[in-house]
Amino acid sequence: MIGFIAFLISWLMGYYVLRCFKKRDASFELMDIFLIPGLGLGISAQIIFYVLLFWGSLAPVLIIQIHLLILCLLFLYNHRYLPKQSSSFSLSSRSIGVLIAILAVVALMATMLALLRPWGDWDGWSFWNYRAHFLFRAGHQWPRLFEFNMQQQHPWMLPLIILWGWCICGSEERIIPVAIGIIFTVASVGLLIGALKKYVSFFWAAIGGIFLASIPLFMFQGTSQYADIVAAYFILLSSVLVVDLLRSPSFNNAALTGLCLGLTASVKDNSIVAVCILLALSILRLYRSKASMFIKPLILGCVTIGVSVVLMKSFETLNVLNDPYGVSLTGIGDWHKWLLMGRFSLTSLTSFSWGGLWPLALAVLIVQRTRWIREEMGVLVQFLIFYIILYFFIFAASTLGLEWLLKVSFDRSLFLLAPVVIFTMFYSVGSKE
């Protein structure tokens, strides 16, 4: 259980960092409770990455000392220079009870599913946990991990968070990756409820959270010890912050949004694609709304973390000749591939595992029609459409067996969007506008 001290330290860091961004601009809201864990753990992953890079090996004592030093500095800065901030949850005692009940049920469900598979599913133990084990054991030889075919793919946030827990434990405790899956599953539901509460009544926000937790694929995938749940959480977080930025542009909002976009990019290759689309749409909207002065802090916040993502991806050059993911543009013109993708999509998106999400999402989009174009939420609709279309082209261009690729990756690619889709749907249903 001592490993959970790592999470506590990260959450305290996340709290104080968020407080630095808010300053006098706004009080703490319900969404911030569920923003803090991701922000703190993302910063911890950055600390461990740079220790690996500059120290040359995993140094648990040094990592713990850096965490405690940063935490102390943040504590002193917050209590010396920042005013005390209030909270504006705007929830009755009954609503708070309902929220706690929802999250308790989600936590119980996630724990049961996680403990049924303590080693995670295939990619959990063979890829994400494997990378963490190698980095933990290899000493100065850790870069050799990237000489081996598949293991160089994707940025490193999840393995680095696992390493942070193991640094506190002093050993490779199995409970750490299990707990990370549970934490991000519960935090995703809480973040969705908190984000919706800013725009709709608590009733619709709670229904949105319940709907997300009721999707069988979401709960199963969230506890599989894959990076998918971490990516889904950060994509939702970045999407909501982008909407907030467009509604209330400010320097601090832009910098925080950029920082979270950078953290999102450090999770998976899929999340890098999502960040590129969100960032481009945000910059275009800010420019058109004559708020271009906030583009610079947005980009600077993203680049702050983006530097580490570039460095992480640079290790792929150690194995560039063995990249298994070939691409051929001729595949885009193969109508047989598009026909196969169409049939597969229809079967997959209407299956029980999605709980009716995609037909409902399409119905809402058709009913709303052009209204989305006139609002900030239009950015999210455009993001979802661009992301899905782009991945269809990626599947078509891949030289791997398309049927196998669809079975392995199609649902997982859309899983990352599910919380954003539900946020968009219930915003539309519950919005007083």
Most confident listed range (4-13, 359-368, 391-400):
4-13
Q: Comparing C-alpha atoms, which of 19, 13, 14, 21 is closest to residue 256?
A: 21
Cα dihedral 400, 403, 408, 414 sign: positive
Rounded to an integer, the average pLDDT of 288-307 is 92
Q: Extract the runs of DSSP E, i.e. beta strands, from 33-144.
A: none
Rounded to an integer, the average pLDDT of 45-57 is 94
- Which DSSP letter does residue 156 get? -
Asked whether the predicted pLDDT for residue 366 surpasses 60, the reply is yes
As a whole number of angstroms, the distance between CA 222 and CA 218 comes to 6
As a whole number of angstroms, the distance between CA 261 and CA 303 comes to 9
Residue carrying structure tokens 């942070």: 164
pLDDT tens profile 139-168:
898 888 887 655 557 899 999 999 999 999
Rounded to an integer, the average pLDDT of 4-27 is 85
Q: Are the C-beta atoms of 35 and 10 separated by less than 8 Å?
A: no
Q: Which two tokens stand for residue 55?
A: 């120290």
| Weakest-pLDDT range from 223-237, 316-330, 401-415 | 316-330
Report the SS3 class of residue 398. Answer: strand
Domain ranges of the chain: 4-83+93-430
Asked whether the predicted pLDDT for residue 192 surpasses 70, the reply is yes
- Which DSSP letter does residue 431 get? -
Cα 17-20-23 angle, rounded to 5 deg: 150
pLDDT bracket for residue 197 (50, 70, 90):
very high
Residue 361 backbone dihedrals phi, psi, to 5 degrees = -65, -40
What percentage of the chain's residues is helix, strand, coil (to nearest 5)? 80, 0, 20
Residue carrying structure tokens 């160089």: 152
Name all contacts of 407-415 with Cβ < 8 Å and 24+ positions apart.
Answer: 410/344, 410/345, 410/348, 411/217, 411/348, 411/353, 412/221, 412/226, 412/228, 413/270, 414/349, 414/358, 414/388, 415/217, 415/218, 415/221, 415/228, 415/232
Q: What is the pLDDT of residue 148?
A: 67
Asked whether the predicted pLDDT for residue 218 surpasses 80, the reply is yes
pLDDT bracket for residue 26 (50, 70, 90):
low
Q: Comparing C-alpha atoms, which of 295, 317, 313, 315 is closest to residue 305?
A: 313
pLDDT bracket for residue 377 (50, 70, 90):
confident
Report the SS3 class of residue 102. Answer: helix
Q: What is the pLDDT of residue 321?
A: 59
Rounded to an integer, the average pLDDT of 222-237 is 96
Q: Which two tokens stand for residue 361?
A: 């999402």
